[in-house]
Structure 1
């Protein structure tokens, strides 16, 4: 499968956490309810949210998007083995469809106060 786009993003965890503390409503604009809490219902850590935000930014870069996509139209999910995947719908799905994207790959990491994500979009 040919690569349509690649995106990478890094997010300083403490700076991101400070923004969320200053603007509590921002979390609901950036993340779905499932992304904001663990399967047990506990709030996600700052590292986890920063990595999810990095994944959404990396996805936007992989799709070459300059705007017009809703943050919550991309959702980072984790399977039973702990492997992350992106579920897309709405505005993000429309952009992916317009590029012929059929498959997305995502990798996340956080260490040393920085969260990072890479997304590869394939046709």
Structure 2
């Protein structure tokens, strides 16, 4: 059963400018394993975090760092949730997140489907 769907797009240049103006955003938005990635990958991961929030109904109290996009060598990216996001997802019956990421022509995008029982 589909619990929710979320999509988000990020202008990569605008995202980079925001990070340059407010470097602490990197710590607030991304975990240790994410921060060293190229700008277009960070923008796509931020879009994924937004898409996860939307797939859950954009509830108040989500912590950005509680959504992580992991990618093991040769495998597609996956959403890993913990803390505030894991609790809300569990309360809604979400068991799996399906993720699609893209970045091209200065835009990063993500689509998330939250699937449950």
The two structures have a TM-score, normalised by structure 2, of: 0.96
The question of 1:111 aligning with 2:114 is answered: no
Q: Partner of 2:6 in structure 1?
A: 7
For residues 70-89 of structure 1, the aligned pairs below 5 Å read 70-89=63-82
For this pair of structures, how many residues does the alignment match?
A: 116
The 3-state SS of whatever aligns with 1:66 is: coil
The two structures have a TM-score, normalised by structure 1, of: 0.92
Tell me how far apart the structure 2 counterparts of residues 73 and 102 of structure 1 sit (CA, whole Å). 16
The 3-state SS of whatever aligns with 1:29 is: helix
Tell me how far apart the structure 2 counterparts of residues 79 and 105 of structure 1 sit (CA, whole Å). 16
Q: Partner of 2:89 in structure 1?
A: 96
Tell me how far apart the structure 1 counterparts of residues 74 and 103 of structure 2 sit (CA, whole Å). 18
Unmatched runs of 5 consecutive residues or more in structure 2: none
Q: Partner of 1:17 in structure 2?
A: 16
Deviations 1:9-60 (A, max 9, x none): 00000000000000001100000010112xxxxxx21101000000000000
Tell me how far apart the structure 2 counterparts of residues 20 and 12 of structure 1 sit (CA, whole Å). 12
Greater shift, 14-23 or 64-73, is seen at: 64-73
